[in-house]
Amino acid sequence: MNIRSLSISAVLVLAVSCGSSGSLRRTSVEERDIENQGTRLYLEQVDYTSDTAYVTSFARDYKRDYGANDKPLPTTVWWTGGNSATILLSTSPRFKETFKVEASESPASIYNLIPDVKYYYKVLDGNSKVVCSGCVKPVGPLRMINGVAENVRDLGGWKVDGGHIAYGKLYRGAKLSSRMSDNSKDIFLNQLGIRLDLDLRGIKDSEAKVGPVVEGADYIKFPVEKNMGRGTGNTQELYQQAIRTIIERLGKGEAVYFHCAGGADRTGTLAFLIEALVGVSENDLSKDYELTTFGPSNTRLRNYRATEKETHILYELITYLRKFGYPQVSSINQLVFNWATTRHSDNVDPLTSDEIALLRKYLIVKD
């Protein structure tokens, strides 16, 4: 298990310290598991380290046993009386900066908190009186996002040598609906802080006219046609351009959301390439790819061999990448680096070693 070590708590109700209105510096911290059972067990139990031939997959087994579930567990806050309330949360015990959640009744379910971060909270009644307060730390390192679109998750948490990918930098998922609610847009812009919608759709007739959805976020389209293993279109250059754009935006301190239609194939390829470049293990690259299977719409298994009609399959990507090195001795990370730094056309410069170093600098947090 290489995505950051899990700390499991079976209790979902927060312990509260009622009546406190000042600093909560000395409040005890309650750890809460935010992984649903199937996801947690999959991350803990599955190991693909020895299967470099990609002939095994376990994702479907977990989906069968635990159901299609790509949603996190909420952090649940209770208060006496059960009346509507405003919950103020902050990462500072003195509440120097806060965000709020409006709740119609007790308990309130809070989503999208960052794992391993302490959140101090106060529950305010209709007269702005503090009725309860406490401190909670979400645990269970995979940060699945609720309330934006299908199959959305933060790339943060995956282990690399000496550290892990930072939370709140890159998000992957499915397309944003043109009927996206104001609340979903607020989560996208303000709670997650996303400033770029990077769209990998655009070749198919049904995708050619799609455009921006969230006002306040920039929109860029890189219309990927085929999987890299098919060798058609300008796929290689588009993925290189997408990675370069992400590096530029991360350098400006901006969070990026990248997606295709279902967040499975084109999105999964881009996530795989980025994670490989920063040093995520081959075992965990497979796990992240297969987590899309836990959603209700898509099944993506690492051992699936493409047919003539299939265009975006992991096995094809791996087979293609092995052309960029010595498959028996080169790691997937090295093969992706070789691919990224190779010129595929006269129109797009390859990524440089310095750019890849910047990607690692922007994404990796030391443990």
**pLDDT of the residue at 9:** 28
**pLDDT of the residue at 333:** 96
pLDDT tens sequence across 110-138: 999 999 999 999 999 999 999 999 999 99
Q: Are 84 and 104 in contact (CB under 8 A)?
A: yes
Per-residue b/e over 72-90, b at no fewer than 16 CB within 10 Å? bbbbbbbbeeeeebebbbb
CATH architecture, range 145-366? Alpha-Beta Complex (3.90)
The Cα angle at residue 217 between residues 216 and 223, in degrees rounded to 5 = 145
Phi, psi (5° rounding) for residue 91?
Answer: -85, 0
Two tokens, residue 145:
């996002």
Q: Tell me how far apart the alpha carbons of residues 271 and 162 are, in angstroms, rounded to a whole number.
A: 20
Phi, psi (5° rounding) for residue 74?
Answer: -80, 160
Query: How confident is the prediction along the chain (367 residues), in pLDDT tens digits per residue?
Result: 444 433 322 223 333 333 444 566 667 899 999 999 999 999 999 999 999 999 999 999 999 999 878 999 999 999 987 789 999 999 999 999 999 999 999 999 999 999 999 999 999 999 999 999 999 999 998 999 999 999 999 999 999 999 999 999 999 999 999 999 999 999 999 999 999 999 999 877 778 888 999 999 999 999 998 778 776 668 999 999 999 999 999 999 999 999 999 999 999 999 999 999 999 999 999 999 999 999 988 899 999 988 877 766 899 999 999 999 886 678 999 999 999 999 998 999 999 999 999 999 999 999 9
Q: Tell me how far apart the alpha carbons of residues 257 and 279 are, in angstroms, rounded to a whole number.
A: 21
How many whole angstroms from its chain centre is CA 142? 8
Two tokens, residue 136:
């909670």
Listed residue (192, 213, 241, 245) closest to 345, CA to CA: 241
pLDDT tens sequence across 211-225: 999 999 999 999 998
**pLDDT of the residue at 5:** 36
User: What does the domain layout of the chain look like in residue ranges?
Assistant: 1-35+72-140, 145-366
**pLDDT of the residue at 124:** 96
Q: Tell me how far apart the alpha carbons of residues 252 and 342 are, in angstroms, rounded to a whole number.
A: 26
CATH tag, 1-35+72-140: 2.60.40
Phi, psi (5° rounding) for residue 206?
Answer: -70, -15
Helices (H), the chain: 37-45, 59-66, 182-186, 235-251, 266-278, 282-290, 314-321, 332-340, 353-363
**pLDDT of the residue at 91:** 96
Structure letter (DSSP) for residue 323 = G
Pairing of strands 218-221, 255-259: unpaired
Return the number of other C-beta atoms located less than 10 Å from residue 285's C-beta: 24
